[in-house]
Structure 1
Amino acid sequence: MKKKTLVLGVSLKPDRYSNFVVHKLVNQGHEVVAYGLKNGQVAGVTIDTELMPYENVHTVTLYANPKSQKGYYDYVVSLKPKRVIFNPGTENPEFYKILKEHHIFYEVACSLVLLSTNQY
């Protein structure tokens, strides 16, 4: 099943993992929406610089450090995703607690690994 995914913290820099994951998601046929600090496109996906009220988001994959995430807590919860993936370097026990309180599943994992091993 293909999962609509929000990549939160995507970079235009081609050597960043957030950029890699957008390419991998698109190549595997997932619907991708993206939020980042700079306008642009990655793999044909427009990067929004405003927090959009996306609908039917299954997965939010985080590429923002824990300090930066504080500004996104309410936003991510409002999307009501089925899960949030905390990629390496984004681990955040404070956010885990908030997600758990809202019955949103989270996992500490690498989206690229999950995609590469058909566990996404």
Structure 2
Amino acid sequence: MIPANPGYAASFKKTNKNMGNLLPVIAWDDEGHALVLDEDEGQLVRASRFSNFDGVTYDANHYIGAIHAPGWKIRWPKNERQPEDIVDPLIGWAIRADGTGIPLALDVDGFIEPVSSQFDPEIIRP
């Protein structure tokens, strides 16, 4: 068995019983088949064992880690609901399987979330 690199996922088609989804490939067997976790059996099984298996894909949006962002800030520009710019600390960066980083901030309820570019924020370096 060969451990899989982060970002590979087994794709499954939608059926009457499920919505279709992606499962992380945990490893490759000695013959090169993708292995996924079968939660009911509590063990790794070939993804192709399932009738709705559709292949293996690379999920570049898969997060593989996060790092702290000391001193980094984010400026939210004023808009129709916000009369002045707001500057908040950037709390970290989420790292994707493809090596890109996504800035993380706190939402109004104190939960961590990726920064959306739809509000045209400015990232301020330390």
Structure 1 or 2: more strand by fraction: 2
Structure 1 or 2: more helix by fraction: 1
Q: TM-score, normalised by structure 1?
A: 0.20
